[in-house]
Amino acid sequence: MMTSEIAIGEEVRTAIAKRRAVVALESTIFSNLGLPSPANREALDRCLAAIRSSGAIPAITAVIDGVARVGIGEREHDLILGPARKVGERELALAIVQRWPFGATTVSASLLLADRAGIGVFATGGIGGVHRGVEQHGDISSDLGALAKHPVVTVCAGAKSFLDLPRTLEYLETLSVPVIGIDCDEFPAFTVRSSGIPIPARVDDVKQLADIVRAHRALGRTGGILACVPIPAHESLDRAHIEAIISDALASAKSDAIEGAAVTPYVLTSISKATDGASVRANLALAENNARVAADLAVALAST
């Protein structure tokens, strides 16, 4: 099925038509731009299994041979695990017209595609946000604007820990994006369970969150909601240790003139090396956990 420039997979299209639970996924994390091989394949398998075991249908987003896709079949999994060009919301039209072989969708592109396909829940790892030193370079992720624009609930483990988290939360408030912690009082920091920063609102379970989503939509709100789930406690990395690694990595990035979109993969690679791969294992755990919670939410919303 084509919706303008978007092709929706048959399983996903059928689920949407029957008002079944569907969870959108980005493809960057599964590509060579995200987790290293073979961890990226493990992430894919674990996320898909978590969503299906909760009774929902996964809908991976990507651009393949110039077609924006929502729902990628198993036969194409090897393709999305390989080399990719990153596609944010800004690059989607370019990737389509120039017929990129594989464009891995970021949070912002995935939110646009989920919105156009009629999917109300999206799972990712950690969102982008306001970068440290923003007063010098103005680097703010387009994820935040997309969260404000598209009526999709994003389930994540907070924002990546090397960002300016207080300013990220402040910017989300400026954009009027509700930020809700699921069974947590502090903003999660990706592979670190807590940043120490109070979260604006808390719910104790997915049922409460589903009620808030319904009320949000009934009020005519046209933007999204950010739902934050901390990484499971036994997989969380130590906050002080990670902060020290991040400080060193950001200093190295500045020394090496790494800027813009290149900062995120640079810092994540530095963290992985410094933790001897523990950050990759934590990333796998939080991605799977977010996918499961997103599926539970999608099922709760589909039950009414």
Q: Which residues are known to be catalytic?
A: 26, 160
**How many CA atoms does the CB half-sphere of 196 hold within 13 Å?**
6
Instruction: Tell me the C-alpha distance between 27 and 92, whole Å.
Output: 13
Structure tokens that stand for 111 in this block: 């939110």
What is the sign, positive or negative, of the torsion defined by CA atoms of 97, 58, 142, 173?
positive
Strands 179-182 and 153-156: what pairing? unpaired
37 Cβ neighbours under 8 A, 6+ residues apart? 81
CB atoms within 10 A of CB 41: 14
- Burial level of 292, CB count in 10 A (0-12/13-18/19+)? buried
Cα separation of 104 and 80, whole Å? 7
Q: Are 140 and 134 in contact (CB under 8 A)?
A: yes
Helix (H, G, I), strand (E, B) or coil at 147: helix
